[in-house]
Every structure is written in C-alpha cells, then in structure tokens.
Amino acid sequence: MTEQIDWWRGAVIYQVYPRSLHDSNNDGIGDLQGIIEKLDYIASLGVDAIWISPCFKSPMKDFGYDISDYRQIDPIFGDLADFDQLIEKAHALNIKVMIDQVLSHTSDLHDWFSESRQNKTNDKSDWYVWADPNPDGTPPNNWQSIFGGPAWQWDSRRCQYYLHNFLASQPDLNFHNPDVQQAVLDNVEFWLKRGVDGLRLDAITYCFHDQALRDNPAKPEELRAGRGFSEDNPYAYQYHYYNNERPENLGFIEKIRALLDKYPGAVSLGEISSEDSLKTMAEYSEGDHRLHMTYSFELLTNDYSTGYVQETVSTLEEALSDGWPCWAVGNHDVARVVTRWGHNTQNPDFPKMVTAMLGSLRGSLCVYQGEELGLTEAEVPYDKLQDPYGIEFWPTFKGRDGCRTPMPWDDKKVNSGFSEGSPWLPVDASHLAKSVNLQEADPDSVLNAYRTFMAWRKQQPALINGDIEFIESAEQVLMFKRTDAHSGQKLLVAFNFSDQLIKTQAAQLPNLVQIPLKCHKNGEINGQELTIPPFGVFFSTFQ
C-alpha cells in the first residue's frame, strides 16, 4: 500500500461536535462555518483528521443521530456549499475529513419511514423492522432500548410494532432487505464523491436483527456493567445476542469496504458495541476486506487502573490478526476523562499524562474536542438539560450534556467566545480558566503540552507503527515497549497513573537513553531504578 492509503495507521483523529465547537452566526448553535473558522486552531494541534459528528438534516431528537435526509446538511449547520468549503480548507491544511454515518436507523421523519408505515403493501413496507403483537397485544419479544424501556413502538397505521434500539423516533432499518443495503450504500457514496476521506460508522453492530425475534437471555446482576449506558438502565439486564452483532452484518461490512476501496485513501472506523467488544473489534477489522479500524467503549468506562488498561489492550492484541485498533478515552457520549478517571483533579499533569499514554498505545487515536484543554465534565442543571437520555434517567444518570457544552475560546468574551447568542447548552464557568486564549499564553499549559507531544509523536516510528509488549511494573505504573522493525526504533515508555511519586524497576533493557519531553513531568532513570513523579511520564530508547 502507498503512504496515501495508509495515512490512517497511527493517525490522530480529532472529533468535532458541531453544535459546540463554534457558532459563526450567533444563533447559539455551532455550525460548519464555525468549524471552518477554527480549522487553523485544529491544524495547530498536529492532528491528521477530523471526525465530524452528524450535521445532516434531522429533527434533532437525538441531536443529529436521527437523520431525515442523508444527503442534505441541516440548515442549523449550513448547507452543502459550506460543507464543500470545509473540505477544501481542511485539505489545504493537510487535514483529512471523516463524517459520522448513522446507518442502522433513521429518523421517523425520513421519507422512507413515512412511506413504510402507511400500510403493509407499499414499496417500502419491509424497509424497517415491523412485527405483529403477541396475542395479548404486548411487544413481540423482550428486547430493550438503550434509552430505556421496550425497543418496540406501536404504530396504529399498520397495527404493528416497529423496532427502535435507541429512541422511539429512531426506527431501525431492515438490513435483511438487499434494497435497503443498496440505498444505504448509495447515500454513503454521495459523500465519498463529494471528497470525504473516511467514515465513522455509528452503532454499526446494530444493522441486523434476529429474524426469528428470539428473546434476549437475562444477564446476572453481577455482570450488569455498563458500556456506554447507565447501569440502572434495564438494557443492562440482558445479553444482547439477538438485537445486536448478528453474523449477517459481516457481509454488509464487506460491502462497505468494497465501496471504500473504489476511493483510494478513504477509510472506515467502526464503533463497536457488543457483549464481547474486543472480540468483535478483531472480527470486524479482519483482513483487508472489512473495516480499516474499530473502536469500542472499553477505555470509556470508569475503570481507571493500569491493570485494566493493560488487560484491555493485551486482550485485543491477542485477538487481532492484521486488524488495526483505534483508542479513545473520551467522546460525546461519556463524561470527560478528567472527571471520569481523574475525579475532577485540577492538576494539569493528569490530562498531560493521559494524552501521552493514549498516544503511545498501538493503533490510531480519537481525541474529543476539549480534551486538549483538560476540560472537566460540566455541571448542567436539570432545567437546562437537552439530552433525552439524561432527562429519562435523572438524577442517577445525568446524561451526556456535561461533555457537550460549548468550547471555551476566550475567557473575556461573552459565552467564552463560542457565540454572542444564547448557547444551546450553558458554558460552564469553571471552563473559563481553561480557555484557549489563556492556555496559549502559558507555555506549560495542557494545550501546549498536547501540541508538543503530538508534534514529537509524529517523529517516532515506533509509536506510529510499532508493536507493543507490556512489562510488569509497580501497581500504578503502566510500562511497555514499542518496537518498529522497519526503522529499528525501540522505545520503553512508562506512565504513573497515581498522584504519588513512585519508584520502580525499569526493564532489563540494554543502553537505555532517556528522552525528556517538554511540558511533561518526566521520570528519571538511575541504573535500573526508575523514579516517576505524580502523573509523570518516561520515554527512553534502547537497543
């Protein structure tokens, strides 16, 4: 493969949540022109690509993940001309553009569903998952929606239930129908022809359902651990064998890859959610005929320990053949990592360490907007909530609004420079001290540490392409080797996950030569004794 086609291996992908990045027309909602205005800033981060969360036409019941027209930009974000301008400027800055594609379901306002629900004989009558009720009128099986309650909604037009794995306003498409598959692929190709460089495939494991509509089995209480959903949600009470990750999905994945292969350099990144996400990640990225990259919620949990990270990465590495992982510690669906893992620490060394750790794992990485600033989860009062998930499960689960609040650009401007209008979510006052203008003026800031590390990382072939091998160390120290056969570079890296100074034994490796990183707290090696400060990092070459 050429370098152009392989650009995604080891790439840094910056997730843009359009509603909250920057508002160019002061209506309180971020937009495509706002992204365009901030592309120079994004380029300064040293990222390789941006992933833009959905900006397509939508009633916004789930803020763009309920699409009513896959080929139009929603007017709140702009229009197709704005999108074309965004691609042109991004490419001029050597930034690839990836877009979210939500294929498993549509909005209930999509023309396909409007036709499908009319009767049982129209041309699109089986484009969605319809089922008759049980004799007593109850739903056809026990499947649950991620957003709470049964995954079936009664429709009085057809006197049938339709499936919705998410909101009732997000009916699931019937991918057992080949016409549905082709229509979805045609929509994807519309954007490939327009110049996008890749697809982030949302909820891609949900495309197919069990045609026999078998009940999902119950999950023991001790195993009801959430992966991106609230643990007090009845969704956690089941093994999702029949409404998720059906074997037929692999054939459709291969059709997506065949389409992408017609556009050299275009890549796929699949969001994986299943009962064994690491196994599914390996399966979905197997060979050169399935997804280029996969990522899951495995590092988006509350478990913050070196043992958990090592076990998670090692388990995937053992399952992978020639697949390629993509790691993330934050996105638009989970509490920000400084809150989730760092317990709202104000120590700037913590987010610096997390960035360096994430960027040192084997694979590519997704970075959610604001992580480069070390933002904490915002406090959003109940009367300001927008997320239907949070409104449903308040107060035990406050939803996803806390990670979606506007970016703080300038502490001296109204709404931190995000918008002069009333923002769709309030700007958290605690974020002002971490605004971009203040951090750019501070050479030791989290932002400048991010830039420094990412620029340095690009020059380390072992971190971009190398193999990974974990080394046992002190309990709160994550240590591993990265080795690149092509360049011959060998790196020993270590991270202190604790807020205490730790002394541990370095690996018995020949000719360790430390590489101090600017803007980071660096460990020190003395013989074989390694001393790492709180939330510190250590990088060294060896032979």
- 534, 503 contact by CB (below 8 A): no
Peptide bond into 234 cis (omega under 30): no
Angle at 200 (CA atoms; ends 315, 423), nearest 5 degrees = 115
End-to-end Cα spacing for the chain: 29
Tokens (6 digits) for 43:
């380029």
Residues 6+ apart with CB under 8 A from 267: 7, 8, 98, 197, 198, 199, 260, 292, 293
Identity of residue 448? N
Q: Which helix (H) or strand (E) holds 154?
A: strand 152-155
Identity of residue 68? S
Among 74, 108, 245, 271, which one carries the catalytic annotation? 271
Among 31, 172, 202, 387, which one carries the catalytic annotation? 202
CA distance 308 to 298: 9
The residue whose two tokens read 């057992």 is 176
Tokens (6 digits) for 227:
């992966």
- 36, 85 contact by CB (below 8 A): yes
The residue whose two tokens read 């969360």 is 53
Query: Half-sphere exposure (CA, 13 Å, Cβ side) for 354?
Result: 32
CA distance 280 to 288: 16
CA distance 311 to 313: 6
Tokens (6 digits) for 502:
């730790």
Query: Half-sphere exposure (CA, 13 Å, Cβ side) for 204?
Result: 30
Query: Half-sphere exposure (CA, 13 Å, Cβ side) for 59?
Result: 11
Tokens (6 digits) for 126:
């089986």
- 387, 399 contact by CB (below 8 A): yes
Catalytic-residue membership of 271: yes
Identity of residue 20? S
Q: Name the 3-class secondary structure at 250.
A: helix
Dmax over CA atoms of the chain, in Å, equals 78
Length of the chain: 543
Q: Which residues pair with 202 in a beta bridge?
A: 102
Q: Which residues pair with 14 in a beta bridge?
A: 50, 367
Alpha-carbon distances of 242 from 210, 229, 237, 338, 378, rounded to whole Å:
5, 18, 14, 35, 36
Backbone angles phi, psi at 529, to 5 degrees: -90, 125
Q: Which helix (H) or strand (E) holds 178?
A: helix 178-193
Catalytic-residue membership of 202: yes
DSSP-assigned letters across all residues of 112-130: HHHHHTT-SSSTTTTSB-E
Residue numbers annotated as active site: 202, 271
